[in-house]
Chain A
Amino acid sequence: MEKSKSGRTFSAGLILLAGISLLATAGAIHAILLEPAAWILLLAVVGAGLTGWGVYRLRSELSAMVRGRRGEIAAYTLGIIGVLLALAYLSVRFPLRIDMTEAKLYSLSEQTVTMLQRLESPVHIVFFHDPLMRETVELYELIARQTDKVTVEFYDPMTNPAQARMLGVQFAGTAVMQSEGRKLQIHGGNETDIANGILRVSRGATQLICFLDGHGEADPFSLESHDHLEGAAGHTHGIGAKVVVHERHGMAKARNALETMNYQVEKVALPRNAEAFSRCDLLVVAGPKTALLETEVEAIRGYLSAGGNALFMLDPFVQTGLEPVAREFGVVLDEDIVIDPASHFWADPSSPAVTEYNRHQVTRQLPLTFFPGARSLSPTPQRVPGVSILPLVNSSKSSFGETSPDRARFEEGKDLSGPRTLMVVVNRRPVDAEQAMFGTNSASAANAGDGEGGAGGARRSRIIVIGDSDFATNSFFHIMGNGNLFLNAVNYLAAQENLIGIEPRTYDVPRVNLTNRQMKGTFFLSIVLIPGLLAIIGTAVWWKQR
Chain B
Amino acid sequence: MNGALAVYQKEVLTYFRSPIAYFVVAVFLVGTGYFFLYNVFLTGNATMDDTFQSMGVLLITLAPVVSMRLFSAEYSAQTMELLMTLPLKPWQIVLGKYLGAVTILLLMAAGTLINLVPLYLFGNPETITILSGYIGFVLLGMACLAVGQFFSALTHNQIIAALITVSVLLGFWFIGHLQNFQSSYVIRDLVAYLSFSLHYGDFIRGLLRSEAVFFYLVVIAISLVLTSGYLQWKR
- In the assembly, what is the distance between CA of A130 and CA of B177, in Å? 12
- Cross-interface CB contact of B221 among A84, A96, A534, A542, cutoff 8 Å: A84
Which residues of the other chain, A, contact B114 by a CB distance below 8 angstroms? 525-526, 529-530
- In the assembly, what is the distance between CA of A475 and CA of B115, in Å? 66
Query: Does B154 have its Cβ within 8 Å of any Cβ on chain A?
Result: no
Which residues of the other chain, A, contact B222 by a CB distance below 8 angstroms? 81, 84-85
Which residues of the other chain, B, contact A73 by a CB distance below 8 angstroms? 229, 232-233
Q: Which residue of A lies closest to B229 (CB)?
A: A77
**Which has the most chain B C-beta neighbours within 10 Å: A100, A511, A521?**
A100
B11: shortest Cβ distance to chain A, in Å?
A: 16
Query: Does A36 have its Cβ within 8 Å of any Cβ on chain B?
Result: no
B228: shortest Cβ distance to chain A, in Å?
A: 8
Residue contact B122 to A514, C-beta cutoff 8 Å: yes
Which residues of the other chain, B, contact A34 by a CB distance below 8 angstroms? 183-184
Residue contact B218 to A531, C-beta cutoff 8 Å: no
Q: Which parts of A487-546 form the interface with B (CB within 8 Å)? A: 509-514, 518-519, 521-523, 525-527, 529-532, 534-535, 537-539, 541-542, 545
Which residues of the other chain, A, contact B119 by a CB distance below 8 angstroms? 512
Q: Which parts of A35-80 form the interface with B (CB within 8 Å)? A: 70, 73-74, 76-77, 80
Which residues of the other chain, B, contact A519 by a CB distance below 8 angstroms? 37, 41
Residue contact B33 to A526, C-beta cutoff 8 Å: yes
**Which has the most chain A C-beta neighbours within 10 Å: B21, B36, B128, B218?**
B218
Which residues of the other chain, B, contact A518 by a CB distance below 8 angstroms? 118, 122
Given A95-B210, A97-B208, A530-B111: A541 and B46 interface contact (C-beta under 8 Å):
no
Q: Which residue of B lies closest to A521 (CB)?
A: B118
Given A510-B46, A545-B19: A87 and B233 interface contact (C-beta under 8 Å):
no
- In the assembly, what is the distance between CA of A91 and CA of B21, in Å? 35
Which residues of the other chain, B, contact A240 by a CB distance below 8 angstroms? none
Residue contact A96 to B210, C-beta cutoff 8 Å: yes
- In the assembly, what is the distance between CA of A198 and CA of B179, in Å? 29
Q: Which residue of A lies closest to B23 (CB)?
A: A538
Given A97-B208, A512-B40, A512-B123: A534 and B29 interface contact (C-beta under 8 Å):
yes
Which residues of the other chain, A, contact B16 by a CB distance below 8 angstroms? 541
Given A34-B183, A84-B225: A102 and B46 interface contact (C-beta under 8 Å):
no
Query: Does A166 have its Cβ within 8 Å of any Cβ on chain B?
Result: no
B227: shortest Cβ distance to chain A, in Å?
A: 10
A519: shortest Cβ distance to chain B, in Å?
A: 6
Residue contact A512 to B46, C-beta cutoff 8 Å: yes
Residue contact A131 to B179, C-beta cutoff 8 Å: yes
Residue contact B22 to A77, C-beta cutoff 8 Å: no
A254: shortest Cβ distance to chain B, in Å?
A: 35
Q: Which parts of B30-46 form the interface with A (CB within 8 Å)? A: 30, 32-34, 36-37, 40-41, 44-46
**Which has the most chain A C-beta neighbours within 10 Å: B193, B198, B206, B221?**
B206
- In the assembly, what is the distance between CA of A131 and CA of B179, in Å? 7
Residue contact A106 to B206, C-beta cutoff 8 Å: yes
Residue contact B46 to A527, C-beta cutoff 8 Å: no
Residue contact A537 to B22, C-beta cutoff 8 Å: yes
- In the assembly, what is the distance between CA of A350 and CA of B54, in Å? 54
- In the assembly, what is the distance between CA of A262 and CA of B183, in Å? 32
Q: Which residue of B lies closest to A525 (CB)?
A: B114
Which residues of the other chain, A, contact B46 by a CB distance below 8 angstroms? 509-512
Residue contact A512 to B122, C-beta cutoff 8 Å: yes
- In the assembly, what is the distance between CA of A526 and CA of B111, in Å? 9
Residue contact B207 to A100, C-beta cutoff 8 Å: yes
Residue contact B207 to A535, C-beta cutoff 8 Å: no
- In the assembly, what is the distance between CA of A77 and CA of B111, in Å? 37
Query: Does B131 have its Cβ within 8 Å of any Cβ on chain A?
Result: yes
Query: Does A159 have its Cβ within 8 Å of any Cβ on chain B?
Result: yes
Given A77-B229, A534-B29: A513 and B122 interface contact (C-beta under 8 Å):
yes
Residue contact A535 to B23, C-beta cutoff 8 Å: yes
Q: Which parts of A181-211 form the interface with B (CB within 8 Å)? A: none
**Which has the most chain A C-beta neighbours within 10 Å: B182, B213, B228, B229?**
B229
Which residues of the other chain, B, contact A98 by a CB distance below 8 angstroms? 207-209
Query: Does B2 have its Cβ within 8 Å of any Cβ on chain A?
Result: no
Residue contact A97 to B44, C-beta cutoff 8 Å: no
B231: shortest Cβ distance to chain A, in Å?
A: 10
Query: Does B85 have its Cβ within 8 Å of any Cβ on chain A?
Result: no
Residue contact B214 to A87, C-beta cutoff 8 Å: yes
- In the assembly, what is the distance between CA of A34 and CA of B181, in Å? 13
- Cross-interface CB contact of B211 among A70, A81, A91, A511, cutoff 8 Å: A91
Query: Does B188 have its Cβ within 8 Å of any Cβ on chain A?
Result: yes
Residue contact B208 to A100, C-beta cutoff 8 Å: yes
- In the assembly, what is the distance between CA of A509 and CA of B39, in Å? 13
Q: Which parts of A124-150 form the interface with B (CB within 8 Å)? A: 130-131, 134
- In the assembly, what is the distance between CA of A539 and CA of B232, in Å? 38
Which residues of the other chain, A, contact B228 by a CB distance below 8 angstroms? 77
B28: shortest Cβ distance to chain A, in Å?
A: 8
Which residues of the other chain, B, contact A92 by a CB distance below 8 angstroms? 193, 211
Which residues of the other chain, B, contact A541 by a CB distance below 8 angstroms? 16-19, 22
Residue contact B26 to A81, C-beta cutoff 8 Å: no
Query: Does B3 have its Cβ within 8 Å of any Cβ on chain A?
Result: no
Q: Which parts of A101-116 form the interface with B (CB within 8 Å)? A: 101-102, 105-106
Which residues of the other chain, B, contact A94 by a CB distance below 8 angstroms? 210
Residue contact B118 to A538, C-beta cutoff 8 Å: no
- Cross-interface CB contact of B30 among A102, A531, A542, cutoff 8 Å: A531
Q: Which parts of B180-235 form the interface with A (CB within 8 Å)? A: 180, 182-184, 187-188, 192-193, 198, 205-211, 213-215, 218, 221-222, 225-226, 228-229, 232-233
- In the assembly, what is the distance between CA of A510 and CA of B207, in Å? 18
Which residues of the other chain, B, contact A84 by a CB distance below 8 angstroms? 218, 221-222, 225
Residue contact A101 to B129, C-beta cutoff 8 Å: yes
- In the assembly, what is the distance between CA of A537 and CA of B119, in Å? 28
Q: Which residue of B lies closest to A135 (CB)?
A: B205
Query: Does A232 have its Cβ within 8 Å of any Cβ on chain B?
Result: no
A544: shortest Cβ distance to chain B, in Å?
A: 9
Residue contact B193 to A511, C-beta cutoff 8 Å: no
For the complex of A and B, 3 pairs with smallest distance between CB atoms: A538-B22, A512-B123, A526-B33
Apart from the given pairs A131-B179, A509-B47, A512-B40, 4 other A-B contacts in the complex at a CB distance below 8 Å: A94-B210, A518-B118, A535-B26, A545-B17
Between-chain CB contacts (< 8 Å), 22 pairs: A80-B221, A88-B214, A91-B211, A91-B214, A92-B211, A101-B205, A101-B206, A101-B207, A105-B205, A134-B192, A510-B123, A511-B45, A522-B40, A526-B114, A526-B115, A526-B118, A532-B26, A535-B23, A535-B26, A541-B16, A541-B17, A542-B19
